[in-house]
Amino acid sequence: MILASCDRMITLKNLILMNGTMGIGKTATSRELQKLLPRCVFLDGDWCWDMSPFIVTEETKAMVEDNISHMLNNFLRCSELENIIFCWVMHHQAIIDSLLSRLDTHDSEIFRFSLICSDEALTQRLHNDVVNGVRSADIIARSLARQRNYLEMETHKIDTTEISAEQAAHLMYRIIYP
């Protein structure tokens, strides 16, 4: 969106935050949404934490948050971009609020989405990932336990129980560009 402000033009950016529990389809939906949006970049928060072994400490959490906010601020400053998609397992509102407090969003419209689905659909998706060696079996209980958190967040809810990532992306697109 472009707005005239006195003698200069301001291009508003769309910052799209997509969250949901593990295995819900954030990455697939983000990739589909990226195809629909003009001048778009996509960042998956997991890419900023792809270490082996996977170590969760206060130091590594701070590092990941710094990496994410640094990259998102760079994307927000880039004049060539109009849409920035960020997905991650942000299972508490405080995570989103903390992230946004680190970003320069003064020329941006922020869209917050939570992907949700039925427990049965999520269990089946994760079971398939376990069988295919993509995830370990303990993910099912952890993911199911977190899913309820997203229902109470200040986000648009997209139920992916019976829709594809492409369909979910189209629903989001219609919210971003009504």
> The domain containing residue 52 runs over which residues?
2-117+150-158
Where residue 52 sits, what CATH number does that domain have?
3.40.50.300
Total Cβ atoms within 10 A of residue 14: 20
What pLDDT, on a 0 to 100 scale, did the predictor assign at position 51?
A: 86
Number of domains in the chain: 1
The pLDDT tens digits of the residues spanning 25-82 come to 999 999 999 999 999 999 999 998 888 898 999 999 999 999 999 999 999 999 999 9
Is position 173 within any domain?
no
Is 24 inside a domain boundary? yes
Rounded to 5 degrees, what angle do the CA atoms 150, 137, 90 make? 25
Query: By 3-state DSSP, what share of the chain in percent is helix, strand and coil, each rounded to 5?
Result: 45, 20, 30
Q: Is residue 166 part of a domain?
A: no
Residue 46 lies in a domain: yes
* Average confidence score pLDDT of the chain: 93
Q: Which of 143, 76, 59 is nearest to 110 (CA)?
A: 76
> The whole model's pTM is what?
0.91
Is 172 part of any domain? no
> How far is CA 177 from each of CA 1, 36, 111, 136, 145, rounded to the nearest angstrom?
9, 11, 11, 38, 33
Predicted confidence (pLDDT) per residue in 141-168, tens digit = 999 999 999 999 999 999 999 999 999 9
pLDDT of 116 over the 90 cut: yes
* Contact present, 91 and 58 (Cβ < 8 Å): no
130, 138 Cβ separation under 8 angstroms: no
Is 125 inside any structural domain?
Answer: no
